[in-house]
Amino acid sequence: MPSWFFPYAASLSRNLCSDFTIDRYTTMHDCGKPKVKILSEKGTFQFPGHAQASYETWLTFSEDQEIGELIRRDMEVHTLKTEQVPEFCKGDKRIACTLLLAGLSEIHSNSLMFGGMESDSFKIKFKHLEKKGKTICELLFPL
């Protein structure tokens, strides 16, 4: 687990979206992937713009904007640049906390796809989340 997880666990858990919202978000966050699926030159499938496509797909059958926002922003925690972290933390704290913990769950649940937790790919993703997650927690929950 990243260094920020346990010191901020209670604050994070008190500031999550509802169980219902998290359930729908984590179930539906990739629902637009079939629309954007391409075969790369390397012979692997890629899904460019899948978060936006999933958001648009979600809106065709639900008006729930909170779940839509989580789906639309699903990849942010993985792609944030240092200078974007303050903006990520603005607005609804529940969205930021939910996205952060979902991102942590995603890299762990997908670790085998990256080559396992000892792979360079996983370590790079984990290091990114370690650094950005620490800054996010410090901004959301100043001591």
Burial tier of 97 (Cβ tally within 10 Å: 0-12, 13-18, 19+): buried
Do residues 36 and 49 make contact, with C-beta atoms less than 8 angstroms apart? yes
The pLDDT value given to residue 131 = 95
57-113 pLDDT, tens per residue?
999 999 999 999 999 999 999 999 999 999 999 989 999 999 999 999 998 887 777
Q: What's the rounded Cα separation, in Å, for the pair 48 and 90?
A: 26
Inform me whether the pLDDT recorded for 136 exceeds 80: yes
Q: What's the rounded Cα separation, in Å, for the pair 15 and 66?
A: 14
The pLDDT value given to residue 18 = 97
Q: How confident is the model at residue 44 (pLDDT cuts 50, 70, 90)?
A: confident
Q: Beta-carbon neighbour count of residue 49 at 10 Å?
A: 13
Q: What's the rounded Cα separation, in Å, for the pair 89 and 74?
A: 14
Q: What's the rounded Cα separation, in Å, for the pair 79 and 12?
A: 20
Which sign does the torsion angle of CA 115, 120, 26, 13 carry? Answer: positive
Tell me which DSSP letter residue 46 carries: E
Question: To the nearest whole number, what is the mean pLDDT of the chain?
Answer: 93
Inform me whether the pLDDT recorded for 117 exceeds 90: no
